[in-house]
Amino acid sequence: MRASGIGQTVRSLAGILILVAGSNVVLTRNASADDVQAALHKANAYIEVAKTTERAVESWERYQSWVNMKTGPTGKERYISYGMYELYDFAAGLLNRARAEAGVEPSVPKLDAAMTRYIDAYEALAPAMNQASAYYDQRRYATDNATEGQALHKRMLPLATAFLAARDAMMPQLRAFVRDVEQRELAAIEAREGRSARWQVGQVMYAADRVIDVFPRDRPQQMDSETLDAKIEALGPDSPGAAFDEIIAGVVPPQNVVIDVTRFSAALEQYAEAVDVFERFSGAKPEGFEAFKALPRQMLDLLRAFHGPLIESGGHEFEGAAQMVGQIANAHIAMFNDGNAIRHSQIRHLP
């Protein structure tokens, strides 16, 4: 797969998720309203932790963009003023609430354990990262020959590696839990209202999310300054547009990204069935329903157009794939924006 492929396009346009097979959630189909609310509360607490602490990922990527990760800072780097992002000082309260949620029902053993390890890793890294942020903001490297910067680099490197690994392990578990809770929320709506307009919108959006989940979410790797300079110097009048795009983005897109065709086909079939159910709905339509009405079919047409070439390529990159994925991602965003005003989901958005 080329570097300018599916994974990068999906990441930049829609924040697509990783498909997770199965779920270890212990809720039942006949869960009570209290059970559903407890699951929603846990999911939202965990989502807020994941969103807030992503700042540390972004800070580390900013650091990687200008420093030589093998040798650490010298104080002479061209882009050393980029420094690092300061982490949010209100994260502690969120982390404490999430720790408490790990010990209450519904029990989600793998996720609860992964979230606890993730919080531990973040709390170990955050003080060093904030110290480094202040160090670079105050330009102290200009007077100490980067002595403190070197010490901070050696301190942060193993902590950041552990943090990123913990996040990679936690996020698929969280996404599986969120999907499961969405199902329970839909079941609760159906129990109260029947297959109302709210339920119709919710079920087709859920099915769309399951298709989007199949797209990889490999994070692009930040270019260091030396690599970026080398790529700039290599540009010429015959350089392809992708080379310029890569330099502007400042990242190296994921390599060898493959979509699981079997899972994609199954998710697409389920989404098509959901669209069929949605389009046969003839009940009362709330404000905004007509604006939303055409979107599920539009996304289905795009997915079907993508499906054929994807099968032929065996899940690999094919000509025009990036553009098609971008269109799918935009269609999904439009559904999310218009549909949320109708379904009124209590689950917070997890990018």
**Alpha-carbon span 113 to 117, nearest angstrom:** 6
C-alpha 291 chain-centroid distance? 27
Q: What's the CA gap between 94 and 29, in Å, rounded? A: 30
- Residue 205 lies inside a defined structural domain of this protein: yes
Residue type present at position 93: G
Q: How far is CA 92 from CA 73, 88, 98, 123, 131, in A?
A: 29, 9, 10, 9, 17
Domain range spanning residue 110?
6-219+254-343
- Whether 1 maps to a domain, the answer reads no
> Is 348 inside any structural domain?
no
- The answer as to whether 259 is a domain residue is yes
Residue 115 falls inside a structural domain = yes
Residues 88, 57 contacting (CB under 8 angstroms): no
Asked whether residue 242 is domain-assigned, the answer is: no
Give the CA radius of gyration of the chain: 23
Give CA angle at 76 (74, 81), nearest 5°. 105
* Residues pairing with 251 in the sheet: 222
- State whether residue 11 is helix, strand or coil: helix
Total domain count for the chain?
Answer: 1
pLDDT tens string, the chain, 351 residues long: the values are: 333 344 444 443 333 333 333 333 333 344 577 889 999 999 999 999 999 999 999 999 999 989 999 999 999 998 999 999 999 887 788 999 999 999 999 999 999 999 999 999 999 999 999 999 999 999 999 999 999 999 999 999 999 999 999 999 999 999 999 999 999 999 999 999 999 999 999 999 999 999 999 998 765 566 666 666 677 777 777 777 666 666 665 655 556 779 999 999 999 999 999 999 999 999 999 999 999 999 999 999 999 999 999 999 999 988 898 899 999 999 999 999 999 999 999 999 887
Q: Are 87 and 126 in contact (CB under 8 A)?
A: yes
Tokens 């602490």 correspond to what residue?
53
| 29: in domain | yes
For residue 83, is it within any domain? Answer: yes
